[in-house]
Structure 1
Amino acid sequence: MTFVGTPRPRPRWYHAHTDLEDFAIVSYRVDADALARHLPEGFAPMETTFGDGPGALVSAVAFRDRDFHFRFLPQVAIDCGQINYRAYVTAYGQAGVWFFGTRLDHPVVAIPQHLWGMPWRRDHIRVEADWLSTPAHWRLSSTDARCEAVELPRPPMPLDGFPDDSHWLERLTHPTQGWYQRRDGRVGVYSIWHPIMRPRHLEATFARFPFFERLGLITPDTPPHSVLAQARIPFDIHTPPHRLHPEPQAQRATEA
């Protein structure tokens, strides 16, 4: 089976667009029951069978936004570092990611934080990479996270927990819907689109993500499950997010 991605929804004037540079998905294997305790009712971890037993996955996704802008205001664009902390879940018959939180290195963080009630915070973030060196290397440093990784001489065959490339490409690189807990306690939802990623496989030489440690999902010496990285990829963000209405979604899933 070859993963073919998803069709691109027609961009709307109120959507946002950005190019993500020095993009990397640093994933960790975690206990599914421990992860489930952090999810709201109706949400469940997507469990995976690894070589030595079952589990689930969470990821820190770090990159540099390049020319992030709303389509109705292209002349106002920002460049900054960003880290998304997410888990792979299902909710009401749909697969996607649960966003624990986001860190952004720009004052515009106030828009998602206060206008949309999203769990975003300001942080100093530096993401850099050298894609031309042999091996290529990638580095993240922020107030609350640090990771250094180098490209593997060859991709793992297969990636632990997945029968083939199509399965991990879809799960780890192509979730198009995300949920989060709003400041008012309700669940918010939004979606994105991007072309199929062609990530390179890296290995972490050092990694600390205290965000996940405080949730009790990993320890300081837990090694990442994988590091998938790409030099640049365009993203559509279907702003604004909205509140989740689970009953109609659950009914539609039942009817289907």
Structure 2
Amino acid sequence: MTFPELKFKDFLHPRPQPKGLDVQCKLQHFALVTYALDPERFTHIIPERFKLDTIHYQGREQALMSVVPFIDVDFTSAVYPFPKFRMGQTNYRVYVIDQETQERCVWFIGTTLDSWTLIVPRYVWQLPWHAAEFTFDCHQDALGFYSQYEMQTRSAWAAAELSLSQSANDPWNFEGFPGLESYQVFLTHPLAGFYHRRDGKLGTYRVWHDRLQPKPAKLLHARFELLARLNLVSFEEQLKPYSVLIEPVNEFTIYLPPALISK
């Protein structure tokens, strides 16, 4: 199986005009800790509408999933004057293809959020979002690389610990892809997300961002309670990610409210 070549020019497009409830925010200390896993581990997680977007890695077909921690800063309305919020967040996402549209997208297992505003996505929109308390302790050197990246999450649903470091010499790993750009498009540019709502129905929402510019980093320590509990990635496997990327800050537009899919 040969993975197709992906080019940013085929995926980048101007920002759709925000309206209504749409929000914009900056994502600070944005990290992507990605694992390559046996597709069978997702048998009872991914609905039939979607298929895993797999690569051939270390002699086997593998699915990719990422743990994505960051701090939402300047989280506010994209349309109206509105207070700005700051909150820690981590998304747990699997890379899939929507078989109805053939779009590359992500399946959200769930999200942790450190903010009282959790009541809106969790209870009004029924998103699989869960309460958490975050601590980030991050330091960058004069060149912008992370001499220290420490994140801790206290959460009944998905407690987590993460320690990373970064230097200009950290290598890229894109084994299974035809080139670096294909890997970057795949990991950083899915704009549609799907998930099981808390009531069991299928939901979706879309985002927009320009080309992201994360750079490789090294994992020093990881402990993601959710991944071990779901038998997706054991604690031992969590110490051996497929790749790690960090971007100091980027900017997203999120189009709201999420949509309910009837089937």
TM-score (norm 1): 0.90
1:108 and 2:123 matched: no
Aligned-residue offset at 1:225: 1.3
Task: Verify: 1:194 aligned to 2:203, yes or no.
Answer: no
Matched, 1:215 2:221: no
Equivalent-residue separation in structure 2 for 1:234 and 1:147 (angstroms): 23
Change (3 A) 1:158 1:60: closer
Asked if structure 1 preserves the Cα contact closer than 8 Å seen for 2:170 and 2:218, the reply is no
1:74 aligns with one of 81, 86, 96: 81
Q: Which residue of 2 aligns with 1:249?
A: none
Q: Which residue of 1 aligns with 2:195?
A: 180
CA contact (8 A) 1:158 1:164 kept: no
User: CA contact under 8 A between 2:30 and 2:71: conserved in structure 1?
Assistant: yes
Paired residues of 2:204 and 2:260 also in contact (CA < 8 A): yes
Aligned to 2:12: 6
* Distance change in 2, residues 1:197/1:163 (3 Å): same
Corresponding residue of 1:141: 152
Does the 8 Å CA contact 1:127/1:140 hold for their aligned counterparts? Answer: yes
* Correspondence list, 1:1-256, <5 A: 2-4=7-9, 5-7=11-13, 8-91=15-98, 92=100, 93-132=102-141, 136=146, 137-143=148-154, 144-222=159-237, 223-245=240-262
**Number of matched residues?**
246
In structure 2, how many angstroms separate the alpha carbons of the residues matched to 1:130 and 1:29?
28
Distance 1:112 1:27, change over 3 A: same
Preserved contact between residue 147 and residue 208 of structure 1 (Cα < 8 Å): yes
User: Could you list the runs of 5+ residues in structure 2 that have no partner in the other structure?
Assistant: 1-5
- Cα offsets for 1:74-103 (capped at 9, x unmatched): 332210100001100112222200001110
Q: CA deviation at 1:36?
A: 3.0
- Partner secondary structure for residue 207 of structure 2: strand
What percentage of residue pairs aligned between the two structures are identical? 30
Native 8 Å contact 1:24 1:228 kept in 2: yes
Q: CA deviation at 1:168?
A: 1.2
Q: What runs of 5+ residues in structure 1 fail to find an aligned partner?
A: 247-256
Distance 2:224 2:58 in 1: 24
Are the aligned partners of 2:28 and 2:249 in contact in 1 as well (CA < 8 Å)? yes
1-side partners of 2:91 and 2:27: how far apart?
A: 13
Task: State how far apart, in whole Å, the 1-side matches of 2:8 and 2:235 are.
Answer: 34
Task: Tell me if structure 2 keeps the 8 A contact 1:36–1:45.
Answer: no
Q: 2 CA distance for matches of 1:19 and 1:207? A: 25
Query: Residues of 2 paired with 1:158 and 1:75: CA distance?
Result: 41
Give the aligned partner of residue 254 of structure 1.
Answer: none
- List per-residue Cα deviations over 1:81-130 (Å, max 9, x = no partner): 00001100112222200001110000100100011010001101123422
Q: Which moved more, 1:53-62 or 1:156-165?
A: 156-165
Q: Distance in 1 between matches of 2:82 and 2:30?
A: 24
